[in-house]
Amino acid sequence: MIDIMAIGAHPDDVEIGVGGILAKYKGSDVKTMIVDLTKGEMGTNGTPQIREREGKRAAEILGSKRVVMDLPDGKIKVSEENLIKVIELIRQFRPRIILTHYPDPEQHPDHYNSALLVRQAAHLAGLAKYPAQGERFRPERIYHFFLPKYLQPSFIVDVTDSFPIKMEALKAHESQFLSRDKGLPTNVNREDIFEGIETIARYHGQSIGVKFGEALYYKGVLGVDNIMNIGML
């Protein structure tokens, strides 16, 4: 059983979105897993083989297990075939919490469709008669990352102590972030990419009075059993 399963459309999506959150639990009893729905074969730089090696190294840095699936990069859809693949993954590893993309239609189509696919699969995985392998199981919560600027986060996680580990994991994806001199220019290998990621983390951290934070959204109402603990870091 996995405590936290972070599902991204492409290799490095999870590291960018919630790498600090996963790194918080490195070496603890909390078991974390990264799932790449695609091999990133449509990426401008790198190859699926290179990206798989980089992803494995990044997962080791974060203290997470990593699974790479075979959905087509650039063509992720909510289809019966893809639903079954994700349902069977959820039933196999039985995550308590899933972290995945926010369904923003203005973002990369794979990000948007991944969010829809994961939400539907997580629900259907709990239906005993749904025709997929594995014993029925439904995660307790789904939280979303890569939030649009107009959306207020449901909560922000303090990742001040684990932020350096997140950045180390990102740099393991050399073909994506460190390929300015030997690859084609992209949005993620520009010179200020790490500064930009840090700026976002500082902004979210400042919102809760810490140095670095990562924002998540929950489509629903979160309950607490002790109001004295709300907002305590």
Residue 183: its pLDDT value, please?
A: 82
Residue 232 pLDDT > 80, yes or no? no
**Domain CATH code at residue 12:** 3.40.50.10320
pLDDT in tens, 162-205: 999 999 999 999 999 988 778 888 888 888 999 999 999 999 99
Pairing type for strands 141-145 and 65-68 reads unpaired
Helices (H), the chain: 13-24, 48-62, 80-93, 109-124, 163-172, 174-177, 193-207
Please give the torsion angle defined by the CA atoms of residues 221, 204, 179 and 100, in that order, rounded to the nearest 10 degrees.
Answer: -10
pLDDT in tens, 75-87: 999 999 999 999 9
pTM, two decimals, is 0.96
C-alpha to C-alpha distance for 108 and 85, rounded to whole angstroms? 21
| CA-to-CA dists, residue 196 to 143, 176, 188, 200, angstroms | 23, 15, 10, 6
Six-digit token string for 165: 């580990």
pLDDT in tens, 146-168: 999 999 999 999 999 999 999 99
Domain that holds residue 135: 4-229
Query: Rounded mean pLDDT of the chain?
Result: 95
* Weakest-pLDDT range from 56-60, 136-140, 181-185, 193-197: 181-185
Q: How many domains does the chain have?
A: 1
* Weakest-pLDDT range from 28-32, 81-85, 93-97, 223-227: 223-227
